Structure 1
Amino acid sequence: MPKIIYIDADGGEFEAEVEVGSNVMQGAVDHMIDGIVGECGGVMACATCHCYVDPSWEDKLPKPDEAEEDMLDVVQEPQDNSRLSCQIEVTEALDGLIVHLPKSQF
C-alpha cells in the first residue's frame, strides 16, 4: 500500500498507508490525522480537506478540475499548490506523497 506523508502546520509528520483507489482525505480520516476534517465525506462540498501538495509532487498529480478550483476559492490561506485532498486519488505512483496541512480548515 502506498504511504502518504502528512505534515501538520506545526511540522509534525505522520505517515499512513492508504489503499489504492481511496483518496488522500480518506487516508487522513481513517488514520485519525488531525488537520483534515472532511465534513462532506469527499463530495467536494465543504473544502475542509484542504491541503498543500509538497512542491516536489506538484507535477506528478493531475491538475484540479474547474469544480475543485471553485471550491479552493473559499479556503483560508490558499496557495498555488492548494488542493482538496478528497480529489487526490491514491495510486501506487503516489507512494511517498507529501502533503502539508493548513493551520485551520475553517
Structure 2
Amino acid sequence: MLKLKFIGNDDTVYDLEVQDGSTVMENAVRNGVPGIEAECGGACACATCHVYVDEAWTEKVGEPEPMEEDMLDFAVDVRANSRLSCQITMSAELDGLTVRVPDSQG
C-alpha cells in the first residue's frame, strides 16, 4: 500500500493508504474527501477534481498533458502546481504524495 495525503480546503488532513495504479481522484472519491466531485468519473472531461500538488512533489508528478491543460481552463484559481487528480496515477515513486483541495471547491 502507498500513502496519499489530502489537505482539505478547511485544512482537514486525510491520510490514505492506496493501491498502486489507482488515481488520486479515485482515492478521494472512495474515501469521501470533500471538494473532489469527479463529475466525469475520471475521463478528463471536467475540472471538478482539481487539486494543488504540494511543491515538494511537483517535479515527480510532472506536467499536465495537453488535454488536461485544456480542462484546467475550467477550474477556478489555477496555479503552476494545479493538476486534475484523475490524471495522477499512484506509483511507488509517488508514495507519500500530498495534494490540497482548492478553497473554491467545497
Q: TM-score, normalised by structure 2?
A: 0.95
Asked if 1:87 corresponds to 2:87, the answer is yes
Q: Superposition RMSD on alpha carbons, in Å? A: 1.2
What is the CA-CA distance between 1:103 and the residue it aligns to? 1.8
Residue 67 of structure 1 aligns to a residue whose secondary structure is: helix
Which residue number corresponds to residue 50 of structure 1?
50
Which residue number corresponds to residue 8 of structure 2?
8
Which residue number corresponds to residue 22 of structure 1?
22
Residue 16 of structure 1 aligns to a residue whose secondary structure is: strand
Instruction: State the identity as a percent.
Output: 49
Q: How many aligned positions are there?
A: 106
What is the CA-CA distance between 1:105 and the residue it aligns to? 3.6
Which residue number corresponds to residue 59 of structure 1?
59
2:94 maps to a residue whose letter is L
Q: Which runs of 5+ in 2 are unaligned?
A: none
What is the CA-CA distance between 1:62 and the residue it aligns to? 2.4
What CA distance in whole angstroms lies between the structure 1 residues aligned with 2:40 and 2:105? 13
What is the CA-CA distance between 1:17 and the residue it aligns to? 1.2
